[in-house]
C-alpha cells in the first residue's frame, strides 16, 4: 500500500479496458514435395507468384504446387509452406538426403611452371607453361641435334616437347634462340603446353630432357551453393568478370538461371574488412545462391576468383526413398508436421496428395495435440464411394483403425483440371481448393458459417470431378463422415458437406462448430493472460467476466451462438481450488447449428379449408 507523507494530489490508474483480440481463422499450412525452397522451415507466402518464386512451379513428383494454386484461386491469402524431403534417420534431420548444387571457384594465386635454357645475354630461352598449376611441372623440354644438314623441327609426345635443332653439313648446330621460339609457337601441340620467349639472338646449345618447375595450383577461394537443396540448382551458373572500378582487386558476379541473367553483384571484394566483401554483399540478399569465402588471407587481389563461367552441379531433391515418417516428422527435430510448432497463427493443415493412413493419422494426432487447427485430408485417388467408406472406417482392404477426431475432416473425390505442365487433363487432390473455400468463407462471413454450399463452397478453376456421385452415394458417404464434392448442372462444383471425422455424434461433429470453438477458446485464452498472478478473489473474477462477456455477446449478435453464460464465482472457485492457486471460469455456449437437411412440406387442402386449423 502506498504511503503518503505530505499533502498533495496523487494519481493512480486502473485499466478496465481489456478486450479479447481478434485472431486469424483461415491461415493454412501445407507440406509436401516442391521443386525448391527451404526444407522443414515453414515459409509464409501470400500469392501464387510468391509461391513460384520461393518453391518453384508444378512438378510431376508431387501435388504441393497444384494445391497451393487451388488455395489461392479459391480465395486463400495466408499460406505457410513446409517443403519436405527424405531423411535416412527420421530422428536426425542432419541425415537429409537432399543436397545443394554447388561449385568451388579457384583463385588467381596459381603459379605457372617455368624453365630457362641457355645462357642469359647469349642464347637463353624462357619456357612457361600455358596453364598455371602443379600439373605443368611434368612438362619436359629437350633440345637435341643429330645428323648433318638437319632441319629445325618440333615433336610432342604427351607432355614431352623435343626440339630437333638445325645443323650444317658438319653437324654443327645453327638454330638460334629466336628461330626455336618461332618454331615452338608454330607447332600446335607445343604451343598448347608452353610459351617460349627469348631476347637473345645466339645459337642455342643442346639441352637434355628437363622438367619445368615451380608450378603451383591456385587455391580454392570461394564456394558458391544454391540457396536451397534440389536439382533445380544444377540450372544455375556463375559468371566472373573483373570489376569496373578496381579491376586489379574487385570482380563482378552474375547469377544465371538456365542461361538467363537473374542477379548481378558488382565490384565485390575478397577483403573481409570492406563493406563490399563477397559474403556481405550476397548472403541473405540473393534469392538464388549463398557464398562461402575460402581464401586463407586478406590479400584480396590474388584470391579473387578466376574469370569465367562456372556451372553449379550435384543438386539432389532428396525424394528417393520418401516414407510416411518424412511427412509426419519428429517433435525433437521440428520436421514434418512438427515444423509448424512455432507457427501459432495456423488454422488449417494439409498434406495434399499424401493419403496413407499413417500420414492422415499423424496429421490428426498433431491437430489433436495443438487443439487450434483443423487437419483436412482426401481419400486416395480413383476410389469409388463404397471404397472411400472402407478407407475412412479402416475396413475391407484397409487394416488401419477408423479415423476419429473432431479436429479432422475427409473429402471425396479428387478434382480434374487442365495440367499447366502438359496441357492434358489431370486429377489433383481437393484439399487445396477446400482450404481456399474455408478462407473465402471466413472473408465473406464468419468462422461459424459452414464452408460448404453453392456460395461459400463453390470450387473455382476446376474442369470436373474424378467421380460424379448420385444422391444415394452422397447419402452413404456423408453418413460416414466423408464430405462430398458434388457437381450440379446449375451451380457447378460445390463442397456438399461439412462433417468432422468425429464418430460420436455431438455439436463438434460439424466443421463450423469445431472451428467456432477453436476460435473462441484460442482468442479468450490468449487475451486472459492478464489475470495470471493476480489475486484470486472476486475482483479478478469480475475482471475476467468483463473481458469474456462482450466478446461472446458480439458472436451471439452475429449469429454464432444461440446463447451463452460466463461463470466465475465462489461456486467455481472453492476454497480448496484457491488453496491450490487455481482459478476456474466456466463458459457455457449454445453454438448455432447449420441447416443441412431442408424439408419442404407441401400440403394440399380443400378450397374452403382454414390454414390456421391445419397445423
Please name the residues in contact with 99: beta carbons below 8 A apart, sequence gap of 6 or more: 229, 314, 315, 316, 318
Domain 28-96+321-512 listed as CATH 3.40.50.1970: no
Strand partners for 313:
102
576: which DSSP letter?
Answer: H
Q: Which residues contact 503 (CB under 8 A, 6 or more apart)?
A: 402, 404, 481
Stretch 104-119: mean pLDDT: 90
The span from the CA of 289 to the CA of 305, in Å, is 16
**CA pseudo-torsion sign 394, 400, 402, 408:** negative
Of 492, 476, 498, 541, nearest to 406 by C-alpha is: 498
Domain residue limits, the chain: 28-96+321-512, 102-108+218-311, 114-211
Average pLDDT over residues 216-227: 92
Say yes or no to pLDDT of 613 above 80.
no
- Percent of the chain with pLDDT strictly greater than 70: 99
For the domain 102-108+218-311, what is the CATH code?
Answer: 2.60.40.4290
Residues 6+ apart with CB under 8 A from 416: 425, 426, 427, 428, 462, 463, 464, 465, 466
Place of cell 471460469: 585
Is the pLDDT at 448 greater than 90? The verdict is yes
Q: What is the pLDDT of residue 10?
A: 83
Specify whether the CB–CB gap between 336 and 326 falls below 8 A: yes
pLDDT band at 355 (very low <50, low <70, confident <90, very high): very high
> For 288-311, what is the mean pLDDT?
85
The CA-atom distances, in angstroms, between 481 and each of 355, 379, 394 are 16, 12, 13
d(CA 590, CA 406): 17
Q: What local confidence, expressed as pLDDT, does residue 615 receive?
A: 65
For the stretch 553-579, pLDDT in tens is: 999 999 999 999 999 999 999 999 999
**pLDDT (average), residues 462-480:** 97
Contact 411, 420 (CB under 8 A): no
Give the model's confidence band at 22: pLDDT under 50 very low, under 70 low, under 90 confident, else very high: confident
Give the mean model confidence (pLDDT) for residues 85-101: 95
What mean pLDDT is predicted for residues 518-527?
95
Residues in contact with 473: Cβ distance below 8 Å, sequence separation at least 6, in sequence order? 385, 484
Average pLDDT, the chain: 94
pLDDT per position as a tens digit, 117-149: 999 989 999 999 998 889 999 999 999 998 898
pLDDT of residue 18: 80
Q: At what angle do helices 511-527 and 538-557 cross, to 10 degrees?
A: 150
Is pLDDT of 614 > 80? no
Q: What is the largest CA-CA distance in the chain?
A: 149
Answer yes or no: is pLDDT of 1 > 70: no
Give residue 608's pLDDT.
82
Residue 459 has pLDDT above 70, yes or no: yes
Amino acid at each position: 500500500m502506498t504511503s503518503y507523507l505530505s499533502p498533495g494530489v496523487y494519481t493512480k490508474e486502473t485499466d478496465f479496458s481489456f478486450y479479447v483480440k481478434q485472431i486469424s481463422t483461415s491461415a493454412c499450412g501445407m507440406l509436401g514435395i516442391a521443386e525448391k525452397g527451404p526444407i522443414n522451415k515453414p515459409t509464409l507466402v501470400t500469392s501464387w507468384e510468391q509461391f513460384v518464386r520461393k518453391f518453384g512451379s508444378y512438378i510431376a513428383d508431387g501435388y504441393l504446387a497444384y494445391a497451393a494454386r487451388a488455395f489461392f484461386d479459391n480465395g486463400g491469402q495466408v499460406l505457410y509452406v513446409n517443403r519436405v524431403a527424405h531423411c535416412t534417420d527420421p530422428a536426425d534431420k542432419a541425415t537429409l538426403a537432399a543436397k545443394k548444387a554447388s561449385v568451388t571457384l579457384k583463385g588467381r594465386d596459381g603459379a605457372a611452371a617455368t624453365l630457362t635454357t641457355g645462357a642469359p645475354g647469349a642464347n637463353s630461352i624462357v619456357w612457361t607453361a600455358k596453364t598455371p598449376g602443379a600439373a605443368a611441372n611434368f612438362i619436359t623440354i629437350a633440345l637435341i641435334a643429330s645428323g648433318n644438314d638437319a632441319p629445325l623441327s618440333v615433336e610432342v609426345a604427351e607432355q614431352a616437347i623435343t626440339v630437333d635443332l638445325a645443323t650444317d653439313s658438319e653437324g654443327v648446330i645453327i638454330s638460334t634462340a629466336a628461330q626455336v621460339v618461332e618454331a615452338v609457337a608454330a607447332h600446335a601441340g607445343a604451343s598448347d603446353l608452353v610459351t617460349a620467349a627469348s631476347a637473345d639472338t645466339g645459337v642455342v646449345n643442346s639441352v637434355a630432357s628437363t622438367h619445368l618447375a615451380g608450378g603451383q595450383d591456385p587455391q580454392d577461394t570461394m564456394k558458391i551453393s544454391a540457396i536451397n537443396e534440389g536439382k533445380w540448382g544444377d540450372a544455375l551458373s556463375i559468371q566472373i568478370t573483373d570489376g569496373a572500378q578496381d579491376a586489379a582487386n574487385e570482380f563482378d558476379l552474375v547469377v544465371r538461371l538456365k542461361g538467363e541473367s537473374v542477379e548481378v553483384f558488382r565490384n565485390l571484394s575478397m577483403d573481409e574488412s570492406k563493406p563490399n566483401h563477397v559474403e556481405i554483399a550476397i548472403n541473405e540478399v540473393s534469392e538464388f545462391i549463398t557464398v562461402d569465402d575460402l581464401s586463407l588471407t586478406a590479400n584480396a587481389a590474388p584470391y579473387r576468383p578466376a574469370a569465367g563461367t562456372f556451372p553449379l552441379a550435384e543438386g539432389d531433391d532428396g525424394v528417393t526413398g520418401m516414407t510416411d515418417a518424412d511427412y509426419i516428422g519428429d517433435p525433437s527435430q521440428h520436421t514434418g508436421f512438427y515444423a509448424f510448432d512455432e507457427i501459432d497463427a495456423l488454422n488449417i493443415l494439409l498434406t495434399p496428395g499424401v493419403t496413407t493412413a499413417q500420414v492422415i493419422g499423424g496429421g490428426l494426432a498433431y491437430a489433436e495435440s495443438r487443439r487450434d487447427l483443423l487437419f483436412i485430408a482426401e481419400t486416395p485417388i480413383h476410389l469409388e464411394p463404397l471404397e472411400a467408406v472402407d478407407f475412412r472406417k479402416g475396413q475391407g482392404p484397409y487394416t488401419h483403425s477408423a479415423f476419429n477426431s473432431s479436429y479432422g475432416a475427409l473429402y471425396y473425390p479428387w478434382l480434374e483440371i487442365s495440367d499447366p505442365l502438359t496441357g492434358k487433363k489431370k486429377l489433383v487432390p481437393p484439399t487445396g481448393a477446400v482450404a481456399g473455400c474455408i478462407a473465402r468463407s471466413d472473408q465473406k462471413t464468419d468462422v461459424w458459417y459452414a464452408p460448404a454450399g453453392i456460395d461459400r463452397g463453390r470450387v473455382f478453376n476446376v474442369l470436373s470431378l474424378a467421380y460424379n456421385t448420385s444422391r444415394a452415394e452422397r447419402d452413404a458417404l456423408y453418413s460416414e463422415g466423408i464430405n462430398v464434392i458434388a457437381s450440379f448442372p446449375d451451380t457447378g462444383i460445390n463442397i456438399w458437406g461439412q462433417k468432422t471425422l468425429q464418430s460420436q455424434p455431438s455439436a463438434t461433429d460439424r466443421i463450423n462448430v469445431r472451428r467456432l470453438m477453436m476460435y473462441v477458446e484460442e482468442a479468450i485464452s490468449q487475451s486472459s493472460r492478464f489475470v495470471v498472478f493476480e489475486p484470486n478473489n472476486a475482483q479478478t473474477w469480475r475482471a475476467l467476466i468483463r473481458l469474456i462477456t462482450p466478446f461472446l455477446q458480439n458472436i451471439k449478435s452475429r449469429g454464432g451462438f444461440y446463447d451463452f453464460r460466463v461463470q466465475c464465482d465462489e461456486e467455481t472457485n472453492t476454497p480448496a481450488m484457491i488453496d491450490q492457486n487455481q482459478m476456474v471460469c466456466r463458459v457455457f455456449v449454445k453454438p448455432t447449428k447449420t441447416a443441412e437437411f431442408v424439408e419442404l412440406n407441401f400440403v394440399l387442402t380443400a378450397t374452403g379449408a382454414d390454414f390456421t386449423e391445419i397445423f
